[in-house]
Amino acid sequence: MDEAGVVRVLRQVRGPDGRDLVAAKLVDSVSVADGTVHVALRTERAHLAAMEQAGRQVEEALRGAAGVRHVTVVLTSHKQAAPAPAPAPAPAHAGHGPAGHEKFLTDVKSVVAVASGKGGVGKSTVAVNLAVALAQSGRRVGLIDADIYGPSLPRMLGVNQKPGLRDQIMIPVPAFGLVCMSMGFLVPETQAMVWRGPMVMGALSQMLGQTDWGALDVMVVDMPPGTGDAQLTLSQRVDLAGAVIVSTPQDIALLDARRGVTMFEKVGVRILGVVENMSYFQCPHCGGRTDIFGHGGAQAEAAKMGVPFLGAVPLLADVRAAGDAGLPVVIGAPASAAAAAFRAIAEGVVRALGG
């Protein structure tokens, strides 16, 4: 099967307006390598159900085709001002789970999930800098961006490269001493994913299971916000060493953090600790410190929940700029207070993991 062959299949499947997917210009990208086919289809939220149906038809047709071993069909939508709503919590099949499936990442000593109750608290920033700091301390570290809906690793690591393929297995992309995977490496960066349930699990499973991670000391997983399918897949298919919960000092975010903690505790995952991000403002000119949001809430909350407090990261223009420039602050500004905080958090995580 080559790309032209995939396009022929796409011409057989009808989109929401009755035209085939190619004629209706609903195909964003097609790639074929080594028997692995990736197709990205474009959809609007209003047509999501119909496009999911079309996506399944494409998947089925391609699965049956000669020379095709793996198929991923993703639905993309152009980024809107408002973030896509989180997927429905725990679907009906949550209880029994994918029985009999093998575990992923069995060659990794410790898999650490970085999570938060809501988006925008700096979870990806923490995940990236934690991973890089762990790699700087000489560990072999991987980083998975499990946020299918809004991948951020390509931007934060400045990576714009498709993973290589060897014998139908993806080769994770190297960056700053890490090896990384993100859906953002597979589909155009300017689009947000609007996959649902089974598709999210399929995509995440590919990143976990059909990627040559090698033997790693630590795998950091940047979780999507909330308590959806990715959390479920991960807790069922991976032996998590624990979770790091990221929170901002505002009370409302703390309530969300508590939700994040509860979610992991429910599935028997240990909380390695809580990070307070955007904890205080550090003036870039005078170095003075301002506790804008009333710093210390996360620490108090961690104590109340009986989980370790891993550290406070200042709100620093450099952190944002570094993230947007694709140069994590622990690399770009190693002497900054933020970098020091991330290194201390990494040490705390190592301690919580037992050395």
Ligand X SMILES: Nc1ncnc2c1ncn2[C@@H]1O[C@H](COP(=O)(O)OP(=O)(O)O)[C@@H](O)[C@H]1O
| Residue 8 binding result from Mg ion, ligand X, none, given CB thresholds of 5 to 8 Å by partner type | none
SS3 167: coil
Residue 332 as a binder of ligand X (CB under 6 A): the answer is no
Nearer to Mg ion by Cβ, of 123 and 139: the residue is 123
Q: Of 155, 354, 111, 121, whose CA–CA distance to 245 is shortest?
A: 121
Minimum CB distance to Mg ion, residue 218 (Å): 19
Residue 116 as a binder of ligand X (CB under 6 A): the answer is yes
Minimum CB distance to ligand X, residue 224 (Å): 9
Which of 55, 142, 163, 323 lies at the binding interface for ligand X (CB under 6 A)? 323
Residue 231 as a binder of ligand X (CB under 6 A): the answer is no
Minimum CB distance to ligand X, residue 99 (Å): 32
How big is the site for ligand X, counted in residues (CB under 6 A)? 18
Minimum CB distance to Mg ion, residue 228 (Å): 14
Burial of 313 (0-12, 13-18, 19+ CB in 10 A): buried
Site for Mg ion in 266-285 (CB under 5 A): none
Give, in order, the Cα–Cα distances in Å from 21 to each of 18, 58, 232, 266, 326: 9, 10, 31, 42, 35
Which of 36, 152, 206, 235 lies at the binding interface for ligand X (CB under 6 A)? 152
Minimum CB distance to Mg ion, residue 220 (Å): 12
Q: What is the rounded distance in angstroms from the CA atom of residue 321 to the CA atom of residue 302?
A: 29
Residue 211 as a binder of Mg ion (CB under 5 A): the answer is no
Site for Mg ion in 74-133 (CB under 5 A): 123-124
DSSP assignment of 177-230 equals TEEEEEGGGTS-TTEEE---HHHHHHHHHHHHHSB---SEEEEEEEPPSSSSHH
Residue 270 as a binder of ligand X (CB under 6 A): the answer is no
Q: What is the rounded distance in angstroms from the CA atom of residue 114 to the CA atom of residue 124?
A: 8
Show the binding pattern over residues 298-317: x = contacts ligand X (CB under 6 A), - = does not.
Answer: ---------------x-xx-
Residue identified by tokens 């240990």 is 270
| 247 and 121 Cβ atoms separated by less than 8 Å | yes
Point out which residues bind ligand X (CB under 6 A). 116, 119-125, 152, 277-278, 313, 315-316, 319-320, 323, 338
Point out which residues bind Mg ion (CB under 5 A). 123-124, 152
